Amino acid sequence: MSKSKEEKEAIDFTETLMDFTAKLNEKSKIKKVIGVVSGKGGVGKSLVTSMLASEMSRRGYQTGIMDADITGPSIPKSFGIKKKAFATEAGMMPVETKGGIKVMSINLLLQQDTDPVVWRGPLVGGTVKQFWTDVVWGDLDYLFIDMPPGTGDVPLTVFQSIQVDGIVIITSPQELVSLIVSKAVKMARTMNIPILGVIENMAYYQCHECGTRHTIFGESHIDTVAKEYGLELLARIPINTEIAEGCDSGNIETIETDYFHRTISKIENRKEPIA
Ligand SMILES: Nc1ncnc2c1ncn2[C@@H]1O[C@H](COP(=O)(O)OP(=O)(O)OP(=O)(O)O)[C@@H](O)[C@H]1O
């Protein structure tokens, strides 16, 4: 039986309300979107995002970073970006790092980097959506998204609005790791987002003189946790003072390590694992 005009309008209206997907800016073409997530804050999500993007850029890929961590943006600082983003008729222009990575962050739009963003969830979610719809990313091979920490309504909005091809989960060794990973895994699986694997950050500190590994944040349970949730362990990153200094001095791009080979080959979807 055919539907009346009112019924059709009601269905269209409901579908519009239910459709959270946002349309990418028409001047942008992005081949792959990779989300970097963590079940809790302060585990090194931004650092991993910055280092993965830097490695991709060094390999010759056109790379971008969307700093979706609106209330705690740290990407511009770790790349030493001083310029502000500006708008054109086509949309907002991202700022390029010294190595040519395109970055968009709320910090590039605020007058003062130190201005706090004290917004409620919907406004934060809306801003991230705009980073997708209104930013002129141009042609990118990879866009990395530094996701808001946790598994609340903001990361949910981001996942609903943006077509993410895969996520990398970041954790650090501590008692609650299983719970934290399980939340991130559940969120991704509910949203049908492929999980590329898990990275354990701040896994240990290796003494320069004697080579002994110290587990500053406690013994790692990452192997057990990865197995429990069927995740691939992509990397175990030590506490590295060179990395911390690189972040603080805005030179993260210049720091080359071999920590991310496996993650990169996973993102590139190459079959052969690189140890
Ligand atoms: N492996 C590491 N070695 C040394 N310092 C690190 C390491 N990982 C992270 N850090 C430092 O820890 C701090 C927190 O890292 P980062 O900002 O990446 O965490 P985050 O998970 O993004 O935090 P938030 O959730 O608050 O945004 C930074 O100053 C960073 O330089």
pLDDT in tens, 160-192: 888 899 999 999 887 677 788 888 898 888 888
What are the backbone dihedrals phi and psi of residue 102, each rounded to the nearest 5 degrees, phi first? -85, 130
Q: What is the structure's pLDDT at 219?
A: 78
- Give the 3-state secondary structure of residue 116: coil
CA 197–ligand 1 middle distance (angstroms) = 19
What atom of ligand 1 comes closest to residue 50's alpha carbon?
18
Residue 272 has pLDDT above 50, yes or no: no
Q: What is the structure's pLDDT at 56?
A: 97
Query: Which residues belong to the annotated binding site for ATP?
Result: 39-46
Q: Is the CB of 226 under 6 A from ligand 1?
A: no
Question: Residue holding tokens 């209206």?
Answer: 13
CA 109–ligand 1 middle distance (angstroms) = 22
What are the backbone dihedrals phi and psi of residue 234, each rounded to the nearest 5 degrees, phi first? -90, -30
Q: What is the ipTM of this complex?
A: 0.95
Is residue 146 within 8 Å of residue 33, measured between CB atoms? no
CA 27–ligand 1 middle distance (angstroms) = 33
Q: Is the CB of 72 under 6 A from ligand 1?
A: yes
Q: Is the CB of 44 under 6 A from ligand 1?
A: yes
HSE of 43, CA atoms in CB hemisphere, 13 A: 29
CA distances from residue 38 to 93, 152, 243 in whole angstroms, order as listed? 28, 11, 19
For a ligand 1 pocket test, name from 47, 48, 201, 220 the mutation site with the most ligand atoms within 8 angstroms of its C-beta.
47
Model confidence at 17, pLDDT cuts 50, 70, 90, reads very low
Domains and CATH numbers, the chain: 33-267 (3.40.50.300)
Rounded to an integer, the average pLDDT of 32-50 is: 90
Q: What is the dihedral of CA 47, 50, 55, 56, to 10 degrees?
A: 140
